[in-house]
Amino acid sequence: MSDDRKPRIEPYTAPAGGWGSVKSVVEILRREKVPVPSTVKELWRQNKPRGFTCVSCAWPQPGHPLMFEFCENGAKASAWELTSLRTTPEFFAQHTVTELRNWSDYELEQNGRLTQPMRYDRASDKYVPVVWEEAFREIGAELKKLAPKSVVFYASGRASLETSYLYALFARLYGNNNLPDSSNMCHEATGVALRQCIGTAVGTVVLDDFDKTDGIFFFGQNAGVNSPRMMHDLQKAAQRGVPIIVFNPVRERGLERFTNPQNPLEMLTGRETPLATQYHQVKTGGDIAAIAGLCKTLLALDDEALANGTPRVLDTDFIAAHTHGFDAFVAWVRAQSWDAIEADSGLPRAALEGAARVYARCNAVIGVYGMGLTQHVLGEYNIYMLANLLLMRGNIGKPGAGICPVRGHSNVQGQRTVGIADDPALVPLDRLAEQYGFEPPRERGLHTVEACKGVLDGSVHGFIGLGGNFLRAIPDQERVIAAWDKLRLTVQIATKLNRTHLVNGEVAYLLPCLGRIERVVENGKAQVLSTEDSTSCIHASVGKAEPASPDLLSETRIVAEMAKATLPPNPKVPWDTWENDYATIRDAIEQTYPDQFRDYNQRMWQPGGFHRPNSARERIWKTATGKANLIAPPALVATGFDDAPGRFRLMTMRSNDQFNTTVYGYDDRFRGIYGTRDVVMMHKDDIAQLGLREGQVVKLVSDAGDGIAREVGGLSVVAFDIPRGCIGGYYPECNPLIPLSHHTLFSMLPAAKSVPVRIVAEATG
């Protein structure tokens, strides 16, 4: 496995997509030992009406899909789930949990799908098989003994709307709002910031807007890797001559040029579409300054237009009718000097003026963003700034324009829609109270960072994980792991073994579930699930593949059974009906959210799904002021710490060969890094200045100044095209370097894209 890897650094010259993509898919099909014909049959059904929603990213399904509506990374994610490899009770009999902790993330998951419910036996330090009934009985008995406020119900963003609704209801009936989710590490800043400035928690763009836009501004999102189906929409736009302006510290190949692997002519002729018309390598954490430069230029162009009597550059009608805080924001922009903007963005004034001129020429602009904006201490202000830029020219609430956060997990947005939220203000508690005849908890629950703190201070006693790899995804993981075995109860619902399952509470269960591609039959009837994508479209997802093992249960049934074993009977909460007929769960969801889910059971079959109402799209602003708010930031730099000699801004990145903590392989093809993830990417002048050389082994040491020692060693120095003072390392390997306290100001989202570190040469060099 990992042993025969030969690390190699070599620039990648090909476009994103193309033959490299095909090769990479063939490689994973081989490694997962999947029968190719049946896998191709499944891939054919991916993202189609009556097919299944891809388990990888949350990019929408078009109403008229391509023949194969999937991408390289979607195919990898499907192969990962359809694998013929199995992690059986025999496997667990052969390995102690302590021994498995020495396996890499790759090796653990590469071992294949879990097949049977398992219970951790502390005496032998092994997982032993258990029957489902007994597992549910003991979990229920344990939960009844624990204080409800001390139990955490975590969700990774993959489980369906149906399962998520039941899960959130279970937590509330049990007695808490402790519903942290992967969104707390991802786009929570989006929810908080967009509610403040435009009065919705989600983006305003739908797929159709990409056909109508005449400018795309792209901040900190790596579409070629993390939402590759979006490349088709970007390619179409580029071919129409739409300018695509990118702000990213790193030159991501997927944003530069693309060959569509599904277009035979392009593949055979090697034709590629250039994508970014301008590429600005902003400093990590420099987007507030960069956008301030764009806004400052717009004001200057508008001043000129006023003086010359030519058409205004600002959309003054929109600003007057729809916005609040415009004058204060303008005063702030005018007060920022070009010197400061250039220094803090790392971009020359002329480059920012050039980008702003393109923006001023476009009638309808989409602002796209991802983790490059959210995962900073001033993450919410990054988003306010992008919204400010869009609002200056009325680019929200008109065709072809809007703000487009690209969500992460395939149903992460949907989980929040149906109640997975630590903030009860986001949930119609009164309606739940009436529907189910109980008094829901009204106080805030724990989000991810607080849940970790609760484990550290001993106030959390139980943890249920609906998917995910919590202990690998969080910051400061070594500290949290060290406290984890004080928990009384840990329950993990999962498809594959990961590191989180190897750190257990006193009573610990590993419950294997069906994946989304697999057939779900309940009460003799095939069941359907549904999900919500990045553009708020909700569609059915039909799994048809043969389950990985006859002993797997659906996530929906697992949640319902745990709830039944824990809660007193309540005739208004029909768990039995729900787990036997998922359409009745959708009826319950519709009853809780009648405006959002009208005719749910019918409309989810519409090709492309049905769109949830979005007030900002209609220029109705559900904010405190009743208007769209322009909000000025407190600083030009989003990092939340000062630069200092020897201190670097570390951004933790995803490779092209992973899905979050799932490592598919060790090649980051587009970045030219092969066979290893143990690297630190640095500007060549920084390497020289520190007296290091390429290939030298170093360690990164936390420079958070909080007195806690954190380091990650064994990293080879790679010379990389990245701004000076900024360095890159991989997530999750670098997570031990992120202090739990290093998070956004309002949403407590770990600031994984600018972490203060120092670089220290290791003796072995």
Contact positions toward ligand MGD, by CB under 6 A? 56-57, 73, 109, 156, 158, 182, 185-186, 219-222, 225-227, 247-250, 252, 282, 284-285, 287, 370-372, 375, 406, 408-409, 466-470, 473, 493-496, 498, 513, 515-516, 555, 651-654, 658-662, 731-732, 734-735, 738, 752-753
Q: Which is nearer to Mo ion, 323 or 417 (CB)?
A: 417
Residue 186 makes contact with Mo ion by CB under 5 A: yes
Question: Cβ of residue 545: shortest distance to ligand MGD, in angstroms?
Answer: 12
Q: Which is nearer to Mo ion, 186 or 679 (CB)?
A: 186
- Return the one option of ligand MGD, Mo ion, none that residue 735 interacts with (CB less than 5 to 8 A, by type): ligand MGD
- Return the one option of Mo ion, ligand MGD, none that residue 740 interacts with (CB less than 5 to 8 A, by type): none
Which are the contacts of 309, defined by CB distance < 8 A and separation ≥ 6? none
Q: Which is nearer to ligand MGD, 330 or 386 (CB)?
A: 386
Stretch that binds Mo ion, among 133-141, 181-189, 463-471, 740-748 (CB under 5 A): 181-189
Question: Cβ of residue 371: shortest distance to Mo ion, in angstroms?
Answer: 7
The one-letter amino acid at 589: I
Residue written as tokens 């219970």?
A: 119
Query: Which two three-digit tokens encode residue 426?
Result: 């986001």
Question: Cβ of residue 345: shortest distance to ligand MGD, in angstroms?
Answer: 10
Question: Cβ of residue 711: shortest distance to Mo ion, in angstroms?
Answer: 25
Q: Which is nearer to Mo ion, 58 or 301 (CB)?
A: 58
Q: Which is nearer to Mo ion, 186 or 244 (CB)?
A: 186
**Nearest Cα to Cα of residue 161 among 604, 616, 611, 608:** 604
Q: Which is nearer to ligand MGD, 176 or 375 (CB)?
A: 375
Q: In what order do the strands lie in the sheet with 257-259?
A: 16-17, 257-259, 273-274
Query: Binders of Mo ion among 303-332, rule CB under 5 A?
Result: none
Question: Cβ of residue 408: shortest distance to Mo ion, in angstroms?
Answer: 3
State the DSSP code for 618: G
Distance CA 125, CA 139 (A): 20
**Nearest Cα to Cα of residue 54 among 36, 32, 72:** 72
Stretch that binds Mo ion, among 143-151, 278-286, 406-414, 432-440 (CB under 5 A): 406-414
Which are the contacts of 199, defined by CB distance < 8 A and separation ≥ 6? 615, 616, 620, 621, 622, 623, 628
Question: Cβ of residue 232: shortest distance to Mo ion, in angstroms?
Answer: 22
Residue 358 makes contact with Mo ion by CB under 5 A: no
Stretch that binds Mo ion, among 227-235, 405-413, 496-504, 671-679 (CB under 5 A): 405-413
**Nearest Cα to Cα of residue 628 among 617, 638, 613:** 617
Query: Binders of Mo ion among 458-477, rule CB under 5 A?
Result: none
- Return the one option of Mo ion, ligand MGD, none that residue 652 interacts with (CB less than 5 to 8 A, by type): ligand MGD
**Nearest Cα to Cα of residue 408 among 187, 255, 96:** 187
- Return the one option of ligand MGD, Mo ion, none that residue 158 interacts with (CB less than 5 to 8 A, by type): ligand MGD
Size of the site for Mo ion (CB under 5 A): 2
Query: Binders of Mo ion among 606-635, rule CB under 5 A?
Result: none
Q: Which is nearer to ligand MGD, 160 or 297 (CB)?
A: 160
Cis peptide before 634 (omega within 30 of 0): no
Question: Cβ of residue 465: shortest distance to ligand MGD, in angstroms?
Answer: 8
Distance (Å) of CA 647 to CA 217, 289, 644, 703? 30, 20, 5, 7
Stretch that binds Mo ion, among 70-78, 182-190, 677-685, 705-713 (CB under 5 A): 182-190
Q: Which is nearer to ligand MGD, 474 or 717 (CB)?
A: 474
Residue 755 main-chain phi, psi, to 5 deg: -115, 130
**Nearest Cα to Cα of residue 224 among 697, 654, 593:** 654
Question: Cβ of residue 516: shortest distance to ligand MGD, in angstroms?
Answer: 6
- DSSP, collapsed to helix, strand or coil, labels residue 744 as coil
Taking residues 133 to 172 in sequence order and writing x for each that binds Mo ion by CB under 5 A, - otherwise, the string is ----------------------------------------
* 151 and 461 Cβ atoms separated by less than 8 Å: yes
Which are the contacts of 107, defined by CB distance < 8 A and separation ≥ 6? 1, 2
Question: Cβ of residue 489: shortest distance to ligand MGD, in angstroms?
Answer: 17
Query: Which two three-digit tokens encode residue 637?
Result: 């730099």
Which residue in the shown chain puts its C-beta closest to ligand MGD? 370
Residue 51 makes contact with Mo ion by CB under 5 A: no
**Angular region, 18: left φ>0, alpha ψ -120 to 50, beta rest:** left
Stretch that binds Mo ion, among 186-194, 337-345, 593-601, 661-669 (CB under 5 A): 186-194
Q: Which is nearer to ligand MGD, 470 or 621 (CB)?
A: 470
- Return the one option of Mo ion, ligand MGD, none that residue 653 interacts with (CB less than 5 to 8 A, by type): ligand MGD
* Contacting residue, 408, 440, 454, 739, with Mo ion by CB under 5 A: 408
Other C-beta atoms closer than 10 Å to the C-beta of 573 total: 23
- DSSP, collapsed to helix, strand or coil, labels residue 600 as helix
347-353: Cβ within 8 A, 24+ apart: 347/280, 347/281, 347/282, 347/286, 347/290, 347/293, 349/293, 351/278, 351/280, 352/280, 352/290, 352/293, 352/294, 352/297, 353/293, 353/297
Q: Which is nearer to ligand MGD, 408 or 609 (CB)?
A: 408
Q: Which is nearer to Mo ion, 181 or 209 (CB)?
A: 181
Residue written as tokens 């702003």?
A: 356
Distance CA 655, CA 652 (A): 10
- Return the one option of Mo ion, ligand MGD, none that residue 156 interacts with (CB less than 5 to 8 A, by type): ligand MGD
- Return the one option of Mo ion, ligand MGD, none that residue 505 interacts with (CB less than 5 to 8 A, by type): none
* 640 and 376 Cβ atoms separated by less than 8 Å: yes
Q: Which is nearer to ligand MGD, 32 or 252 (CB)?
A: 252
Which are the contacts of 349, defined by CB distance < 8 A and separation ≥ 6? 293, 338, 341, 342
Positions in the binding site for Mo ion (CB under 5 A): 186, 408
